[in-house]
Homo-oligomer: A and B are copies of this chain.
Amino acid sequence: MIETPYLLFLGDAPDMLAAKVAIGIRDWRPENAVGQIRLDGCGADLGLTDMTLAAAREAGAKTLVIGVANRGGVISAAWKEVLIEALQMGYDLAAGLHNLLRDEGDLVAAAQTYGGTLHDVRVPTVGYPIANGVKRSGKRCLAVGTDCSVGKMYTAMAMERDMAERGMKTTFRATGQTGILITGHGVPLDAVVADFMAGSIEYLTPDNDDDHWDMIEGQGSLFHVSYSGVTMALIHGGQPDALILCHEPTRAHMRGLPGYTLPSLEQLRDTALPLAQVANPECKVVGISVNTQHMTEDDARSYLSEVSSRMGLPATDPYRFGSDVLVDALIAL
């Protein structure tokens, strides 16, 4: 559990692409961010108030979140100065960097001296159980994709927000570092040891009220040979009642895998649903989420309409057009 609210550290990020984590926090948990702090030459700007460490601390910030990727896997001297000063002021630090905060002797020393906590969200800190497959109470929805990075996290986030606005009981369950930093808790599934993957998801989505929906963040794809095992564990550990199919129609090949074409939404449905029904025989595919960011609005709307009638399911781009039709489908279950 990472203490909120945050001050978002953008460092010397060259551009907005490097600030994915910080953007996610601003977009999905704006109440978690009191402001941003940037170094000279920073090319990223979240549009939040630029604050000093001291001013943000006064505004209530508990954790300095490193919301950017660092260059070349090195935490630079310029970053270190700010991070150590933050620890001196009583901040915790949180990051999803490849190189860990805990491997930096000066940060560890400062954290010990001033009583701060270093959160490396890539690293599991819980001894997860082996999955037991026992049916849990409450409802669960999982987004599965034709490929990696097609909008599974944004789909679950958008649906959770719209469900909460309707007064429904719902919790976004993060399974990746960005989701964990955005919400402050979750399971870094890609770093969990193989035997405990499905068990970590059972742990993440425990028994709940019968009318409560866990919106589980998807990972990878059953059709992505590098990460399909992670997706499989999510499907079986998550015991979803509802699957959302996610797709990005303009992609030429599977992400990072030239020569591998994307499956159709029909193939995804016909592969994922029977596997999900092993763990939850009642599971249904309830809708389709399309990432239309590379399409004009006209093209996007006509694509969604075609897909929806072809597959007999509601279809939307939840980020662009809202997730209402997907939430309606969950309610209709």
A-B contact pairs, 11 of them (CB 8 A): A133-B225, A133-B226, A133-B254, A133-B257, A190-B194, A197-B230, A222-B232, A228-B232, A228-B235, A232-B232, A263-B278
> Does chain B have a CB within 8 A of A38?
no
Give, as a whole number of angstroms, the nearest-CB distance from A253 to chain B: 10
Interface contact A226-B131, CB-CB below 8 Å = yes
Interface contact A229-B226, CB-CB below 8 Å = no
> Does chain B have a CB within 8 A of A78?
no
Q: Fill in one digit per residue for A231-252: 1 if any B CB lies within 8 Å of its CB, else 0.
A: 1110111000000000000000
> Does chain B have a CB within 8 A of A42?
no
Q: Which residues of B lie under 8 Å from residue A229 when comparing CB positions?
A: 194, 197-198, 229-233, 236
**Number of interface residues, chain A, beta carbon within 8 A:** 40
> Does chain B have a CB within 8 A of A192?
yes
Q: A198 contacts which of B134, B191, B225, B237 (Cβ < 8 Å)?
A: B225
> Does chain B have a CB within 8 A of A6?
no
Given contacts A222-B275, A232-B228, A233-B228, contact A190 B198 (CB under 8 A): no
Sample of 4 further A-B pairs with CB below 8 A, known A132-B257, A133-B225: A226-B236, A228-B232, A228-B235, A229-B233
> Does chain B have a CB within 8 A of A279?
yes
Complex CA–CA separation, A297 to B278 (angstroms): 33
Of residues 201 to 225 in A, which have CB atoms within 8 Å of B's CB atoms? 222-223, 225
Number of copies: 2
> Does chain B have a CB within 8 A of A305?
no
Residue on B with the closest CB to A129?
B226
> Does chain B have a CB within 8 A of A227?
yes
Of residues 288 to 319 in A, which have CB atoms within 8 Å of B's CB atoms? none
> Does chain B have a CB within 8 A of A60?
no
Given contacts A194-B190, A274-B271, contact A228 B236 (CB under 8 A): yes
> Does chain B have a CB within 8 A of A331?
no
Q: Which residues of B lie under 8 Å from residue A260 when comparing CB positions?
A: 133, 278
Complex CA–CA separation, A133 to B260 (angstroms): 8
Give, as a whole number of angstroms, the nearest-CB distance from A262 to chain B: 11
Complex CA–CA separation, A194 to B227 (angstroms): 8
Give, as a whole number of angstroms, the nearest-CB distance from A279 to chain B: 5
Give, as a whole number of angstroms, the nearest-CB distance from A186 to chain B: 14
Give, as a whole number of angstroms, the nearest-CB distance from A260 to chain B: 6
> Does chain B have a CB within 8 A of A27?
no
Q: Which residues of B lie under 8 Å from residue A274 when comparing CB positions?
A: 271
Complex CA–CA separation, A96 to B214 (angstroms): 38
Q: A194 contacts which of B230, B236, B279 (Cβ < 8 Å)?
A: B230
Give, as a whole number of angstroms, the nearest-CB distance from A132 to chain B: 7
Q: A191 contacts which of B133, B195, B222, B233 (Cβ < 8 Å)?
A: B195
Q: Which residues of B lie under 8 Å from residue A232 when comparing CB positions?
A: 222, 228-229, 231-232
Interface contact B194-A225, CB-CB below 8 Å = no
